[in-house]
Amino acid sequence: MPRRFFSKFVTDHRVASVSGTLCAKVIRPSVVSHLPALMVLHGISRNADELVELFEPEAERSGRRIVVPDFCASSWTHFQRPSRSARPDQALLALLSYLAILDPVFAGPVDLFGHSGGAQLAHRFAMLYPNKVGRLNLAAAGWYCLPDTSMAYPYGLGTDDSAEAELWARRHDLALPIYLGLAVRVFVGTGDTDRDASLRQTPDLDRLQGPNRIARAETYVERFRAAALRHGIQPDITLTPLPGVTHDVAHAIAHADLARLVTKSEPELALLATAC
Amino acid sequence: MPHNQISALATAKWTFSTRRVDRSHIAGMDTDFAAARAGDLILAQVESIGQHNRVQLVSGRPSNIFPGDIIVLACGARYAPDQFEGWAEIDPSGCDLLAGGGCMGRMVSRNERIKPATRLLPMGRLLDGAGRPMNLDSYTLPPTMRGGEIPVIFVLGTAMNSGKTTATAQLALGLRRAGYNVAALKGTGTGAFGDYNEYSDTGAHWVADFTDAGMVTTYREPMDRVKSGLELLLGHAEEQGCQIVVMEIADGLFQRETGALVADPWLRGRMSGMVFACGDAVAAAGGVAELARHGIRPDALTGILSCSPMAAAEAVAATGVPVLRKNDLADPAEANAFALRAFSNARAAA
Residue B246 and residue B270: Cα distance in Å, rounded? Answer: 12
pLDDT score for A265: 84
pLDDT score for A4: 46
The enclosing H or E element of A207 equals: helix A203-209
pLDDT score for A268: 81
Tell me the ipTM for this assembly: 0.88
pLDDT score for B212: 98
pLDDT tens per residue across span B71-96: 999 999 999 999 999 999 999 999 99
Residue B174 and residue B332: Cα distance in Å, rounded? Answer: 5
- Residues of B whose CB is below 8 A from A100: 179
Residue B39 and residue A93: Cα distance in Å, rounded? Answer: 43
pLDDT score for A13: 96
- pLDDT of A266 > 90? The answer is no
pLDDT score for B77: 96
Q: Tell me whether B309 touches chain A (CB under 8 Å).
A: no
Q: Do B336 and A82 lie within an 8 Å CB cutoff?
A: no
Among B250, B299, B305, CA closest to B282: B305
H helices present in B178-280, as ranges: 193-201, 223-239, 256-263, 265-270
- pLDDT of A114 > 60? The answer is yes
Q: Widest CA span of chain B, in angstroms? A: 68
Please give the mean pLDDT across all residues of chain A.
92
Task: Look at A159-173, B67-81, B228-242 and tell me which has the smallest mean pLDDT.
Answer: A159-173
CA angle A249, A252, A254 (to 5 degrees): 110
A218 to chain B, closest Cα gap in Å: 28
What is the mean pLDDT of the segment spanning B130-138? 97
Residue B18 and residue B104: Cα distance in Å, rounded? Answer: 12
pLDDT score for A237: 97
Omega cis (within 30) before A109 = yes
pLDDT score for A3: 44
Q: Do A96 and B344 lie within an 8 Å CB cutoff?
A: no
Residue type at B213?
Answer: A
pLDDT tens per residue across span B13-47: 999 999 999 999 999 999 999 999 999 999 999 99
pLDDT score for A161: 80
pLDDT tens per residue across span B90-131: 999 999 999 999 999 999 999 999 999 999 999 999 999 999
pLDDT tens per residue across span B335-350: 999 999 999 988 887 7
Residue A170 and residue A149: Cα distance in Å, rounded? Answer: 12
In this structure, the number of other CB atoms found within 10 A of the CB of residue B92 comes to 12
pLDDT score for B227: 97
In this structure, the number of other CB atoms found within 10 A of the CB of residue A73 comes to 9
Residues with Cβ within 8 Å of residue B135, at least 6 apart in sequence: B37, B39, B40, B41, B214
Nearest CA in chain B to A124: B333
pLDDT score for A85: 83
Pairing of strands B118-127, B28-30: antiparallel
Cβ-in-10-Å burial (0-12, 13-18, 19+) of A211 comes to: middle
A62 to chain B, closest Cα gap in Å: 26
Distances (CA, A) of B71 to B74, B121, B312: 10, 10, 45
Q: How confident is the model at residue A1 (pLDDT cuts 50, 70, 90)?
A: very low
pLDDT score for B4: 59
Q: Do B177 and A128 lie within an 8 Å CB cutoff?
A: no
Q: Do A100 and B341 lie within an 8 Å CB cutoff?
A: no
pLDDT tens per residue across span B294-327: 999 999 999 999 999 999 999 999 999 999 999 9
pLDDT score for B6: 62
Residues with Cβ within 8 Å of residue B104, at least 6 apart in sequence: B42, B44, B73, B74, B75, B76, B90, B95, B96, B97, B98, B120, B122
- pLDDT of A100 > 70? The answer is yes
Residue B268 and residue B152: Cα distance in Å, rounded? Answer: 10
